Amino acid sequence: MLNFPTNPTGGTMTRESLEAIARLAKHHNLLVITDEIYAELTFEGKHTSIAALPGMAERTIFLHGFSKAYAMTGFRIGYACGPAELIEAMMRIHQYSMLCASIISQEAAIEALQNGAEPVAEMKEQYRLRRNYIVKAFNDMGLDCHLPRGSFYAFPSVQSTGLGSGEFASRLVKEENVACVPGNAFGDAGEGFLRCCFATGLEQIKTACERTARFVKSLKTEGA
Ligand SMILES: Cc1ncc(COP(=O)(O)O)c(C=O)c1O
Q: Structural domains in the chain?
A: 15-115 (3.40.640.10), 118-223 (3.90.1150.10)
Ligand 1 contacts (CB < 6 A) are 3, 7, 35, 37, 65, 67, 73, 78
Ligand 1 atom nearest the C-alpha of 65 is 10
Probe residue for ligand 1, chosen from 68, 98, 153 as the CB with the greatest number of ligand atoms within 8 Å: 68
Task: Quote the pLDDT of residue 109.
Answer: 98
Probe residue for ligand 1, chosen from 7, 155, 195 as the CB with the greatest number of ligand atoms within 8 Å: 7
Task: Quote the pLDDT of residue 224.
Answer: 62
What string of DSSP letters covers the chain?
A: -B-SSPTTT-----HHHHHHHHHHHHHTT--EEEE-TTTT-B-SS----GGGSTTTGGGEEEEEESTTTT--GGG--EEEE--HHHHHHHHHHHHHHT----HHHHHHHHHHHHH-HHHHHHHHHHHHHHHHHHHHHHHHTT------SBSSEE--B-GGGT--HHHHHHHHHHHH----EEGGGG-GGGTTBEEEE--S-HHHHHHHHHHHHHHHHHHHHHH-
Task: Quote the pLDDT of residue 130.
Answer: 98
pLDDT in tens, the chain (224 residues): 999 999 999 999 999 999 999 999 999 999 999 999 999 999 999 999 999 999 999 999 999 999 999 999 999 999 999 999 999 999 999 988 888 899 999 999 999 999 999 999 999 999 999 999 999 999 999 999 999 999 999 999 999 999 999 999 999 999 999 999 999 999 999 999 999 999 999 999 999 999 999 999 999 888 66
